[in-house]
Chains A and B, each alone.
Chain A
């Protein structure tokens, strides 16, 4: 028998709680907590579970409107109406810290967690994406992280049989040692079968289903709430171990269960395991919950109550059903050969009551533990960092025009941020379930919805460099760019999920970045009428003294009413006209060109005008719906020359392009400048007039800049003249060369 340790402020601090938080616990309980209770408070009030430093800002985001059925924070994931009795649930979540320490399992369990958030809503996951960021690949450690993160995602996701349809891989040195692994999953549910994470009905039985409970991942949530240090390596045991096969069985069993009228509530055991699911579900039901830990199936007999309550063993769920349906529940889990154990009851006491070996080992009001209830919420101090004004002073005169633009273009096409990510995407099964209309590598991924004419488009985006240089506008740009990608595929943007990756929120300069970026995201979402369905905040992304670039990744989902109208980025036929929707203004501030070719990270970043942006997106979508657009590709990293090159190398052999562009810009601004609110489209000559009419109606600028050719080459004015094979070699082979060196 382990002796009960002394609970004092010192112990509380070791658990990551502050003086005030410990005081508050004493008030809530009217006594000192025991060791188990302290553990429960520490995980539930950790940044990871309580969002204590971010929730006040998150509440400023638009969380209703559009086609939203379930608002952010109400359930595991938001829910958006698609018509035809269908809805989609989608969410993005981070698994940064575990992946930085143990990349394979860290990334794998990130996939597992986000999938469970979706199928606990009753929705079958039908597509997923990953947004990944690593430090320079010149360092072996970063290559190791990329290689194993990708393998972890592939092994877990492929086994589950959910297609990985796209995402991003970004390489910037600010992520060195603190990689970002953000996983997004999207599911479909018939609205009548939507399930809820709620515990109610006194006397209803509470079950733990799925995997057994072990010592893995104890205090994972608390671990995710500190910065990474050299000692972090020793916390490998804080990283959970995934079992995709069990997850697949659990998914099938849960989806069968979600169609039963006697199911009351279901929730994933993610961060903080049994503790979090029991307190959140009972708080939501305004009930109470009483559990007996002796019944929990364990991997190791000697586990104590503290360990069982805080275990983050994967692939487990908490299930509440109506009294008297135990046999029916057991039959489902018996079929899928999973544990299904009755270990508690719903009560009306408002308490989380925990028993172990005949003793009551914890008794805490559920409501006091949870976000929106008693969990702390902080107003954080902010301070504008000095770099903000220092770095935003770039002028074109400070750099020299190069002599050979062909060479510059090839360098940009080979740089890890722009080059094809085929090396990564080829490891993900992108076609399973036979719905993938556009897989990885395009502007947005598109899947069809079987049994309807509809499709869904998804895109994840964030330019962390932009957000670093201008958090407010960078936040706006992340939203509109993901929307623009979705629009380029022919879909109307519906709603977003976000994964907000930042440094230490206690640092006022970091919190300033956070506050500004969230404000920008809110502004853009309101303008586009795309509410936030939910997501996740990941703070403490720092190694040593260095924080990552502020990186609020946006996952946008859009709807295509007619899947046959989906559009791709590659050129289709020689002779087609190449037209820009919006005006090229050639901004080099914050660009990939400035970083890669001139080694400068400087703003100002491209200016975004939300009204103009909405007009351009509307124009593009209208033209696509009229059926006159043959390819659409938004202008982003690397500028016009890279945009056109990408549309060439993905097109059928033989095609190329010739551009004659007149703009009052310097050569490098024209070729490599990154402007907002510009989409490059192609169309037949006969359709030009119709496009111009549409543009006039919306008062939007268009410019014909060239034609698709059958010359297997790219020519831009007298600045670029290069063969297609050279473009292909730079674009398709560079990442593979780096990774297999």
Chain B
């Protein structure tokens, strides 16, 4: 499986994502500059976190118009895995690949801390080898990660089992105030995942947690 890590001006978790594939999992991966328009040779696309275009205007709002987005949307529609983390999730929402919106955290400050997630839907390439209800610890680092959606959208996400991860209840639970404790969602075809927490920063026990690695292993089918 050959991975593309998309690099926008202002992406800054691109190296973290690259590190997972190249050094931890030892699978082929390339950085792909946002002006690239052909992603045919890749089997999966990672849109990493960061501050694409400095978060100017609105998070993800400018990156959505980058040349590479057209082909990302095309590949997503064709069923290729597209995984947006943090700012990548924000970009996926701006580009219409995922529903809802991400607004400023409930206490209006940036939050950098560990959270505990629960695996909800296991019906996706990302979560197929995880157990429903399993708890995962990983960092969040964002100011606009408070997921909201209108009632119809929420109902659709719940009914169609498209909530991949929820923040757990209790301490370190849902610090940004996301509705229904939503931390990550899938598209209708279940090949596009967006999530605010950073599984790519939780792949080595030396750094505190390796719970995130199972999501990537699930993607490449070596769980």
Contact = CB atoms under 8 A, between A and B. Distances in A.
A434 interface: yes
The secondary structure that dominates the A interface is: mixed
A140 B218 CA distance: 52
A737 interface: no
A431 B9 contact: no
Interface string A210-252: 0000000000000000000000000000000001111011000
A161 B9 contact: no
Contact of B207 (A427, A436, A564): A436
Contacts of A427: 109-112
B47 to A, nearest CB: 15
B141 interface: yes
Nearest to A427: B110
A245 B50 contact: no
Interface of A: 151, 154-155, 158-161, 243-246, 248-249, 335-337, 425-437, 448, 450, 563-564
Given A154-B110, A158-B51, A248-B10, A431 B56 contact: no
B200 A249 contact: no
Minimum-distance CB pairs A-B, first 4:
A161-B12, A245-B54, A429-B141, A159-B51
Nearest to B52: A245
A448 B206 contact: yes
B70 interface: no
B51 A244 contact: yes
Interface residues of B, number: 31
B207 A434 contact: yes
Contact of B12 (A155, A246, A432, A437): A432
A336 B35 CA distance: 11
Interface string B15-41: 110010001000000000100000000
Contacts of B123: none
A161 B206 contact: no
Given A161-B13, A249-B9, A434-B201, A429 B110 contact: yes
A432 B56 CA distance: 20
Nearest to B24: A434
Interface string B100-115: 0000000001111100
Interface string B194-223: 000010110110110000000000000000
A244 B56 CA distance: 11
B139 interface: yes
B192 to A, nearest CB: 24
B10 A434 contact: no
Interface of B: 9-10, 12-13, 15-16, 19, 23, 33, 49-51, 53-56, 109-113, 139, 141, 143, 198, 200-201, 203-204, 206-207
B112 A428 contact: yes
Contacts of B16: 432-434
Contacts of A151: 109
Contacts of B206: 437, 448, 563-564
A428 B141 CA distance: 8
23 contacts: A154-B110, A155-B110, A158-B112, A159-B51, A159-B55, A160-B12, A161-B50, A244-B51, A245-B51, A245-B55, A248-B9, A248-B54, A249-B9, A337-B9, A427-B109, A429-B141, A431-B112, A431-B141, A432-B16, A434-B200, A434-B201, A434-B204, A437-B207
Nearest to A150: B109
Nearest to A335: B33
Given A426-B113, A434-B16, A434-B204, 10 more contacts: A158-B110, A158-B112, A159-B54, A248-B10, A337-B9, A426-B109, A431-B112, A431-B139, A434-B15, A450-B19
Contact of A245 (B49, B53, B112, B200): B53
